[in-house]
Each structure stands twice: as structure tokens, then as C-alpha cells.
Amino acid sequence: MRSTSENRPVLVVDIGNTNIVCAVYRNTQIDWSVRLSSSYVKTADEYFASLNSLLQGYCRDQDQEAKALIPRDFFACIALGSVVPELTRIWKHLFRKYFSAEVYEISALSPLGISYKVPNPSFIGSDLVANAYAAWIKYASAAIVIDLGTATTLQVVSKTGGFEGAIIAPGLKTGAANLFSSAAQLYELEMVSPPVLLGTNTSEAVLSGIIHGHAFMLENFVQQLKRQYFDQHPLLTILTGGMAELMKPLVPSVDLVDKSLTTDGFFLALQKLLANN
């Protein structure tokens, strides 16, 4: 990374409602990532203990000495994106206490060159901003981005970096959990590709309803968006999020899966901010 001659790694932290993804970037490439559960009862010290332990393994993989505590100057800088204000405060405290790196918080107000259709885009989630920016910069194309997280989001970014808007729907696992908790005779199932469309037992029927139902929703949204934004042709459709590999075969309009799109977006945004300084 051009901001530091020592070529120290960069930490990206993406805080979501269900998970916190921590990723290490070195030489502009993602080098390591880990997923932690989002918890409102954990302290900054407890989060650091988990992160520090996992980073020991990363250091050993890099043939580096694994010390009891990761050095304060281990990271050149930190990119933070969050949709959970309470956890943002906890992680900022963690960064101040345990690292000397400067923290860059990425949001819709960050000067990235993205244009919005509203005068004050501060309400737009940082994950949507990161996805839009990564799709625009990495693929140099207008794109539909589908992110399968706690919520399923679809958004359109134009070929000139315009944030056209977003759709937010219940996530795959969120909808399934609500179904299981509300129906006494249904039980939680592993989220796998349904073997049939019409199930002949409860498990098959539930899986088909959850997985195929979500896939049909996504495919219809994509087709409708392509018709509405016909002037943006070709409109690349990118799938990301934890369930992306499962869903891709079931959504014919998806062009590619990019599992690191969101963290890549935060890292690319960080590079942009550093270049602006």
C-alpha cells in the first residue's frame, strides 16, 4: 500500500447486525479474514481478546513471530464500516486502546466520487456504500449488487458511479428463523439446495419454500431492474454474502459471485481517502 513504506498490513472491519467481518489486506489484496458474531454485551476488551487470538494464527501463517499481544503498530491503518452504532463505539474504543493506526470510518458522506439522488445520503448503510464502490471500481461497469446478509439487499450503481437506490428485504436466514419460531410443527433445517421443487416431506417442502422462494424473488427483482435501467446496459449482476455460493445456481441472471466485495469496497474506499489526503 502506497501510504506506508514498511508495507504493513491494513485492517478492514465490517460491522453488521449478525456478524463482524475482519479482513487483513496486504499489497492491495485480501490476505486473511475472519467472521465474529455481533454481540451487544461484549466489551472492547473481549472483542480484542478474540481478534488478538485469531491474529496469532495469521502471524504464524505468515512465518511471523506470534507475540502475546499484536503490536500496537501492526497495522498501517484501519478501515471501519458499520451499520450498528452501539458496536461502532465499542470497536472505536478497541482501536484507540490497542492499536496506534489511524481509523478511517467509511460512510455515504465519505468523498469517494459516488453520487446520490438525495441531498443528505447519511442514512444509507456503509455496507451499501462499500458494495456500490467496489462494483464500480473493480468491474468498471453498471451493476446490480445482491448482498445476502441479515437482510437481503439489491442495489444499482451506474457506470458513472451513481447510487441509484436499493431494495431491502428479509434475509434468507432471517426469514427462515421467523418461520421456524412461528410454526410449532416446523424445525430448523440446514440451509442447503433443495433437491426438488415440490417436496414430498416436510424438510423438502420447507427448504423449497425458503430457498426457491428467495431465488424466485431475486430473479424477478433482477429482471425488473434490468428493464427499468435498460439505458445502463450491460448491467452486471454480482452476488455476495455468506449464502452466495448456495444461491447462484438458482438465480440464472447472476453473472458472478464475489465473496469479498464488501470488504474490498471498504479497502478501496480507504485507498481513495488516503489518495485525497
Among all residues, which ones are annotated catalytic? Answer: 127
Beta bridge partners of 14: 21, 81
Helix axes 126-139 and 261-276, enclosed angle (nearest 10): 80
Length of the chain in residues, anyone?
277
The CA angle 61-246-11, to the nearest 5 degrees, is: 35
Per-residue cell: 70: 499484536
**Gyration radius (Cα) of the chain, Å:** 20
Q: Which three cell numbers stand for residue 152?
A: 437481503
Paired residues of 276 in beta bridges: none
Residue 224 makes CB contacts below 8 A (sequence gap 6+) with none
- Rounded to 5 degrees, φ, ψ at 50 are -65, -45
CA torsion 47→52→58→60, rounded to 10°? -160
DSSP single-letter state for residue 201: S
Q: What phi-psi label fits residue 113: left (phi over 0), alpha (psi between -120 and 50 degrees) or beta?
A: left
Question: Exposure of 86 by Cβ count < 10 A (0-12 exposed, 13-18 middle, 19+ buried)?
Answer: exposed
